[in-house]
Amino acid sequence: MAFPGPSRRGNQGERELLMLDNTTMWEAAMKKFVNDPKNFVPEMLKGIALANPGTLKYVPEYNLIMRAEGPRNDKVSIVQGSGSGHEPAHVMVVGKGMLDAACPGDVFSAPPMEYVLETTKLLKSDKGVLLLVNNYTGDKMAFEMASELAEAEGITVKTLFINDDVAVQDSLYTIGRRGVAGNFFVMKAVGAAAEAGADLQECARIGEKVNSVTRTMGIALSACTPPAKGEPLFQLGDDEIEIGIGIHGEPGRRREKIRDANAIVDTLLDAVVPDLPYSSGDEVALMINGLGGTPISELYLLYGIAHEKLAAKGISVWRSYVGEYCTSLEMAGASLTLVKVDDEIKQLLTAPAEIAIRVF
Amino acid sequence: MAFPGPSRRGNQGERELLMLDNTTMWEAAMKKFVNDPKNFVPEMLKGIALANPGTLKYVPEYNLIMRAEGPRNDKVSIVQGSGSGHEPAHVMVVGKGMLDAACPGDVFSAPPMEYVLETTKLLKSDKGVLLLVNNYTGDKMAFEMASELAEAEGITVKTLFINDDVAVQDSLYTIGRRGVAGNFFVMKAVGAAAEAGADLQECARIGEKVNSVTRTMGIALSACTPPAKGEPLFQLGDDEIEIGIGIHGEPGRRREKIRDANAIVDTLLDAVVPDLPYSSGDEVALMINGLGGTPISELYLLYGIAHEKLAAKGISVWRSYVGEYCTSLEMAGASLTLVKVDDEIKQLLTAPAEIAIRVF
Amino acid sequence: MTSSFDRVESVVRTITDTCIANEKYFGDLDSVVGDGDFGFSLARGFERVDEGWDTFDRTDVGTFLSKIAIVITSRVGGTSGPIWGTAFLRAGGTVKGKVDLTGEDVVAMLRAAIEGIKARGGASLGEKTLLDALVPMTDTIEERLAAGDAAADVVKAAAVAARTAADATKELEAKRGRAAYTGERSIGSVDPGAIAVAVLAEKVAETW
Amino acid sequence: MTSSFDRVESVVRTITDTCIANEKYFGDLDSVVGDGDFGFSLARGFERVDEGWDTFDRTDVGTFLSKIAIVITSRVGGTSGPIWGTAFLRAGGTVKGKVDLTGEDVVAMLRAAIEGIKARGGASLGEKTLLDALVPMTDTIEERLAAGDAAADVVKAAAVAARTAADATKELEAKRGRAAYTGERSIGSVDPGAIAVAVLAEKVAETW
Ligand SMILES: Nc1ncnc2c1ncn2[C@@H]1O[C@H](COP(=O)(O)OP(=O)(O)O)[C@@H](O)[C@H]1O
Ligand SMILES: Nc1ncnc2c1ncn2[C@@H]1O[C@H](COP(=O)(O)OP(=O)(O)O)[C@@H](O)[C@H]1O
Ligand SMILES: [Mg+2]
Ligand SMILES: [Mg+2]
Ligand SMILES: [Mg+2]
Ligand SMILES: [Mg+2]
């Protein structure tokens, strides 16, 4: 950071000390692929754009990844914002059939209001803009303020809050359940509907519907280290796991001793299944989402166990989703999501899409 | 493990002690989603099959994942074996357009000869069986013995060794370069050719060709813990990285201090680019492969840097491959692969395929 | 007590520098039951304030503060952007057109900021947010001004009140923001926002 | 020295139990410059031998050993499956039809095993493999038999020779197998395969 020319400024000494501290911290403690930690998000976003020339565009001013072709007036624009650190959510699921744009904030921080506002303006469409937001205080505020201002500028906007996490219960006080990995299903369904020409009202209906039948619960085996922090967000004992972890490393319901995979799947299903509830005869999509540091081999192991335990309850898995969908940097852990599906949802979830994350 | 009935048997006491040790070890030290560590691979394979009903089949006797429809006499069968722990390689890339089957060994162990032999028999086709093998002593032996025996049983077999790792140089003694993440390109190209009806000779030609223009180099930021071992394979200091790491945790070329992402990309490119060499005017596929514990955000950050550095050398990236292709359990780290492409390779790499790893 | 424009500038300057300098400390506080970004968010936002420092319209205190508010609201991520931005905006709104401020002006600014924060985030006193430092601090300022204390003493008393109240958030259960998810587990750690208010008040007192 | 079928069975039994019991130790040795699976591979294979123990055809020593060889070759993963399987197969091949073995038979078996390992893996002496324990051990057995020592003494001497040679692999640079990738960095650690041979020889001597 360069300090601009002559200006009235206070305790410079203290700030220089801090910068020094930051550098030392990086060198000593952080095992990450990163240059200046402050540029972690921009450099990642640049990489995404370079990896997808012709299909994705990066607008550095607003941390914005959008389809290269821009918004279309005959299609609702679907936008999701949130903190960074959850990749592939949401910047890597921009593309035909899913998002039109994603405007992330810094790691684990809701995007500043201006990013959301400018993104909404850049994605303006005659058919309207649908903003998908994970239900957190900061995100909610930024999106509400931005959509008010966007509407004042003549843009039709609807905002949809995703809140699939059963770890946090509604209460008089809190803002309510959090949005976590289940948001993938909302984005996929709404994206498919918008691509097929649905209007704003219809897109919102579909989003609400999918959100209403989606439930998630996660478990962390380790903490994670935000690049600009340089230290783990929390400490877990060698034999401890965090049940109901939030995707920003927020503590969950409780800490317990590590147990075998069967017991862990039981814990996850016991939280998720009775919540909707999912009942015998239901058809579901089953997602085992990796939190960033858990290998896909372990995720498939969990999948197999969950699939069979659901079958034993008479709940049949219609389709599997195993991999990383919504992560917490390099946190080891996993979440389990169920979506109760019907023909409409099935069709939307399997509709084609062309996004940054792909295998070949 | 149950000990079968009455039999002549030696120092039982010592063995029971060992089993006790294993349990304690698991509870104390291992942060993994696993039941009995000995069943890690079978339980994962079962999960893969449950996640892909109708398309994949699991044959527990031989650790085998194969297409549910079985071999076709009008199509060369493409089979890859190797140790487990590298997922999604290779069990998760079985499916139309890629492998017909994969027979993994235990974690980081070449499959026992019998697995390869029985797999080859089950995949028997009039057009022949092509065995893809990463070039390691154990794998080479198992595949050579098995293909000899399979041929004796009247099966037409060809074996192709993949050796893209530049970290290890050929020498008079060693078996030569190792096969690492670049094997994805060989599997994809050969799989596409076989699907299109190419004969065994032609499939082998394509595999050799892709292998001959593919080079990889990897870096580890952390070790990994095989489930049945329960302890990290090696120790890296808090500020140390291993340059040229093998995908089984074998030490690489040297240990160095952690550096920023720009410097790390330089190290990888300096090893890979001059090796083929890749020169100004070349078109390449660029893969940034995660080793299991590194989040995709960091991989895209590396991708962006590598893309630009290659462009500066006049080497243009034709297509990006960013994600996990060949891992070492939960190891943090990445490898960089270049493939020099021509029209034939491009067409094969982008041909459709339907495999277990997919996003939606 | 009257306060010149210079004084306002110097206070905002102190806030700016202190938020930048305490990036790590504020972040660490937020990782106990939050997500650790509080320090980073404030620091990146106030760096913007620092960068634009010489360019802000200084016609009057109200205009000046609203310019600062726009930078904060626009560029600070997380909950803090809307909360802190709203606070500066509402504070500025009460002193539109003024260049010199009375003690009553200062109290009005702080009360407006508090109301803005409540409106934006729905929090009340005792829910373990920055309000739990800001409100007792404002009460103290009002009392001391009424008692006719000198400005420097008022500022010192404000710092003591903010610190005492901020430290006392340790006993509270979080009902708002990310910490609220942890319910009872939030008891035992201080609220980062409240501590930030205390640190800022102390720095302002120090540099008065 | 002659050796009954019982003795052969007991030696194979000792090898089986020792490989199962040393899973962790052998694995740890292999993680120094290898990939850590050596112990796991052997243990899983010899568990199969254990499971099938009562079913192996015991018509003669050759047949018995070839049945063991098939289990090992078939079910042990990694380099060790083919290497150890070939060793048992070749050893059995030299004593087809025999039920009692002479000292010469034992030496011939070991020499055949060594040649089989060399043929299978292409390694020579001094390249830091199990050969570097197996060959000196066999040499010692041959010498002691020629000197007319009692069987129990021969076996003890064999164990000492294997141990000494295995420990000496520490000084060697690996030229074969996974450890060879590390070149000079392999110097300073013993070869897991060679140590396994020493451990087995010692257990055989202990239980003689
Ligand atoms: N609803 C709210 N109203 C007022 N202040 C709040 C509210 N929620 C959180 N805060 C304050 O914000 C601080 C956290 O800020 P920040 O880290 O930016 O939020 P987050 O990361 O949760 O979006 C808390 O310490 C608290 O003082
Ligand atoms: N080419 C070879 N010939 C003979 N023995 C070998 C050869 N390569 C390795 N070994 C032996 O095998 C041991 C390692 O076995 P194992 O762990 O099963 O191999 P890997 O994991 O490398 O496939 C080494 O310690 C060495 O004694
Ligand atoms: Mg935050
Ligand atoms: Mg191995
Ligand atoms: Mg926070
Ligand atoms: Mg090994």
Percent of residues, chain D, with pLDDT higher than 70:
99
Each residue of A140-173: pLDDT tens digit?
999 999 998 899 899 999 999 999 999 987 665 6
Please give the number of the atom of ligand 2 that sits closest to the Cα of B110.
23
Any idea which of A40-44, A228-232, C60-64, D107-111 has the lowest mean pLDDT? A228-232
A248 catalytically annotated:
yes
Percent of residues, chain C, with pLDDT higher than 70:
99
Categorize the per-residue pLDDT at C34 as very low, low, confident or very high, splitting at 50, 70 and 90: confident
**ipTM field:** 0.89
Tell me if B112 and D120 make a contact (CB, 8 A cut-off): no
Categorize the per-residue pLDDT at B170 as very low, low, confident or very high, splitting at 50, 70 and 90: low
Q: pLDDT value at position B7?
A: 34
Residues A118, D168: Cα–Cα separation, whole Å: 70
Q: pLDDT value at position C33?
A: 84
- Ligand 6 centre to CA of D75 (Å) is 15
Q: If contacts are CB pairs under 8 Å, which of residues 32-61 in chain D contact chain B?
A: 32-37, 40-41, 44-45, 47, 50-51, 53-54
A15 vs C: CB within 8 A: yes
Q: pLDDT value at position C3?
A: 65
Residues in chain D: 208
Q: pLDDT value at position A191?
A: 98
Residues D166, D193: Cα–Cα separation, whole Å: 9
Q: pLDDT value at position A27?
A: 45
- Contacting residues for B197 by C-beta, under 8 A, at least 6 apart: B74, B75
Nearest to D36 among B105, B108, B114 (CB): B108
Q: pLDDT value at position B3?
A: 30
Q: pLDDT value at position A179?
A: 95
Across A181-213, b (16+ Cβ under 10 Å) vs e yields bbbbbbbbbbbbbbbeebebeebbebbebbbeb
Q: C184 to chain A nearest CA, in Å?
A: 10
Query: Looking at this protein, which amino acid is placed at residue A194?
Result: A
Q: pLDDT value at position A15?
A: 33
Each residue of A248-282: pLDDT tens digit?
888 788 899 999 999 999 999 999 999 999 999 99
Nearest to A221 by CA among A299, A168, A287: A299
Rounded average pLDDT over C63-79: 93
Rounded average pLDDT over C160-169: 98
Each residue of D120-160: pLDDT tens digit?
999 999 999 999 999 999 999 999 999 999 999 999 999 99
- Ligand 1 centre to CA of A180 (Å) is 19
A touches B (3+ CB pairs < 8 Å)?
yes
Rounded average pLDDT over A331-342: 98
Closest residue CA from atom 19 of ligand 1: C79
pLDDT mean across residues, chain C:
94
Rounded average pLDDT over B166-192: 88
pLDDT at A21 over 70: no
pLDDT at D179 over 90: no
SS3 D53: helix
Tell me if C176 and A174 make a contact (CB, 8 A cut-off): yes
pLDDT at A24 over 60: no
Interface with B, mutate which of A255, A256, A297 (most B CBs under 10 A): A297
Nearest to B10 among D17, D78, D79 (CB): D17
Supply the pTM of this predicted model: 0.91
Tell me if B83 and D77 make a contact (CB, 8 A cut-off): yes
Q: pLDDT value at position C2?
A: 56
- Ligand 1 centre to CA of B239 (Å) is 34
- Contacting residues for A281 by C-beta, under 8 A, at least 6 apart: A314, A315
- Ligand 4 centre to CA of A223 (Å) is 30
Tell me if A301 and B47 make a contact (CB, 8 A cut-off): yes
pLDDT mean across residues, chain B:
90
- Contacting residues for C143 by C-beta, under 8 A, at least 6 apart: none
Alpha helix stretches (DSSP H) within chain A: 12-29, 40-51, 113-122, 137-152, 183-195, 200-212, 261-272, 296-312, 343-350
Helices and strands (DSSP H and E) totals, chain C: 9, 2
Q: pLDDT value at position C93?
A: 94
Q: Point out the residues of B that are catalytic.
A: 86, 248
Categorize the per-residue pLDDT at A351 as very low, low, confident or very high, splitting at 50, 70 and 90: very high
Q: D117 to chain B nearest CA, in Å?
A: 11
